[in-house]
Amino acid sequence: MTNEQIERVVTPEVGRNMVTISFKSRNNIKGLFIQMPDFNELKVKNFWRVVPEKNVDEWKKSRNMNLARIFNGQEFTKIAIDKLTAA
């Protein structure tokens, strides 16, 4: 996916709702897109910081960006918002 396609989905969801990200060559992951000081710089390069589901509770408490992973948006095939967490 291009960074423009991802941005349309991600921008309103940053830090709010869990999403499921489908990839071209790996298993899907469920996580939370987060915005750190380098968000715009990464976005331009089509990289996205995501906290995996297993680390979300700890991230919400500590805001430790080391709990997140950076993914290349070119590998995304689909982003689905988890309706169970939608506010």
Single pTM value for the model: 0.86
Output the pLDDT for position 28: 96
Looking at domain 3-81, its CATH architecture is Roll (2.30)
pLDDT along the chain (87 residues), means of 10: 88 81 95 92 95 95 95 95 61
Question: Is 39 buried (19+), middle (13-18) or exposed (0-12) by CB count in 10 A?
Answer: middle
The Cα–Cα gap between 31 and 49 comes to 10
